[in-house]
Amino acid sequence: MKAIFISIGDELLIGQTVNTNAAWLGQECSRRGIRVERVIAISDDENEIKSELNNSIEKADLVLITGGLGPTKDDITKHTLVDYFETKLVRHEATLKQIESFFAARNRPMLEANTQQADLPESCTILPNPNGTAAGMWFEKNAAIVVSMPGVPYEMKAIMQDEVFPRLEERFQLHSLYHRTIMTQGIGESFLAEKIKFWENHVRESGLGLAYLPSPGQVKLRLTSREGKSRAGEIDLLFDQLEKDLPLYFYGRDEVTLKEVIGSLLRQNGQTLGTVESCTGGGLAAEIASVSGASEYFEGALTTYSNQLKHDLLSIPMEDLQRYGAVSREIAKAMAVYGREKLCVDWCVSTTGVAGPTGGTAETPLGTVFIAVASENEVTVRDFRFGDNRERNIQMTILSALNMLRCSIVGLTSD
């Protein structure tokens, strides 16, 4: 099965929006064995859309269109599709009800422009949009399937997952590429490759595909079998081996996140968690709290950004802050230990560092971060040196802190 993605909207052409929809669709289609032939972004222009549709229907079995379905005048995708598929708009009662309840749930009045979003092409199958007011539309022409969806990423994703992929899977014998992933934190791509050289050779000889998928602070390994699920057991054994050999880095399988792994561990142990943050500003706490049900183990956090609050809230002596500096092994340790008491938690993680882009000194250069993990019996501190990009340093600190916490909870000593 071959697919072409058409993204509609001037904001993509002038670079105001990065086309992350295409990347997500590419990932989801590929792992179902749908081959992506091309990705196109064009403007909200009727002739452009029609000519691209002609071209794509000829070349592909599946054409996924995103964008241009909003209630305002500059959105013309729906009317263009009506024209292209020679149909007309009719009021779709189920969609109207859904739009009405969408507004009712938000206590907001409905405008005429919103009501009109329930007028949909007669000849298409309507794909409900649980997260918004623009429904998906499924057309068929010359053996090609054309699906139009809103451009808002989480609306589009829900329609793909709930409506489009199930229909495709039901109707077509999708290629049975079988993917499994295993997640690492704290080791770069080339160092990882060096450490698992023999394992990698063995994997490649066995005919499985291996891909390194790096993102800041993490590398995901993906194994692909062309023989479908039949090799699932073998892949599990291969993953077992990695987790046994390199437990400090490998933290979970199949898209699990560190924050979820920590949630499961704490829930199992009946333990509680808090954080005390400086350079991450509350981002570590927010990451932990973003897991649904985190209130079972996450009690709360202190962001002691200023030295004054490090003193007032944690009772760290001002002279210690002056002697060691706020970005130091000693203060990271004090933050975690005192924080654990103030927050009355079993585990407390602290962060302090120079996130940048300014503020480095000779002793604590830009990107220096200390992370401490305190439990009843022990406190572990590690120092890191990230780069000069503030956003990235904060993200790296959050991930490193979560992995240090994971290692501490399961009784591993960080290197």
Subset of residues 251 to 290 that bind a copy of itself, contact rule: CB under 8 A: 275, 277, 280-286, 288-290
Smaller CB distance to a copy of itself: residue 87 or 286?
286
- Exposed, middle or buried, 212 (CB in 10 Å: 0-12/13-18/19+)? middle
The residue range among 29-37, 163-171, 227-235, 407-415 that interacts with a copy of itself, by the rule CB under 8 A, is 29-37
Radius of gyration, CA atoms only, the chain: 26
Instruction: Provide φ and ψ at 50, rounded to 5°.
Output: -65, -40
| Residue 232 CB coordination number (10 Å) | 12
Q: Which residue has the tokens 């692909």?
A: 224
Binding pattern for the stretch 107-126 against a copy of itself, x by CB under 8 A and - elsewhere? xx--x-xx------------
Interface pick for a copy of itself out of 88, 91, 267, 385 (rule CB under 8 A)? 385
Q: Is 25 in the site for a copy of itself (CB under 8 A)?
A: yes
Beta carbons within 8 Å of 80's beta carbon, 6+ residues apart: 46, 49, 50
CB nearer to a copy of itself: pick between 44 and 163: 44
The per-residue DSSP string of 364-397 comes to: S-TTEEEEEEE-SS-EEEEEEE--S-HHHHHHHH
Beta bridge partners of 182: 221, 253
- Complex with a copy of itself: residue 188 or 207, whichever CB lies closer: 188
* Chosen residue from 46, 58, 169, 189 binding a copy of itself by CB under 8 A: 189
Of the candidate residues 36, 120, 183, 404, the single one contacting a copy of itself (CB under 8 A): 36
Q: Check binding of 318 to a copy of itself (CB under 8 A).
A: no
Which three-class secondary structure state does DSSP give residue 120? strand
CB of 86 to a copy of itself, least distance (A): 25
Kindly state the number of chain residues that form the binding site for a copy of itself, as judged by CB under 8 A. Answer: 103
Read off φ and ψ for residue 382, nearest 5 degrees: -135, 150
- Distance (Å, rounded) from C-alpha 133 to C-alpha 102? 8
Q: Does 2 bind a copy of itself (CB under 8 A)?
A: no
Which residue, 30 or 87, has its beta carbon nearer to a copy of itself? 30
Q: Which of residues 80-109 bind a copy of itself (CB under 8 A)?
A: 105-108
Residues 59-78 close enough to bind a copy of itself by CB under 8 A? 70-72, 74
Q: How many Cα neighbours within 13 Å face the side chain of 375?
A: 14
Q: Does 10 bind a copy of itself (CB under 8 A)?
A: yes
CB of 375 to a copy of itself, least distance (A): 19
ω into residue 130 within 30 of 0, thus cis? no
Q: How far is the CB of 85 from a copy of itself (least distance, A)?
A: 22
Of positions 162, 212, 256, 320, contacts a copy of itself by CB under 8 A: 212
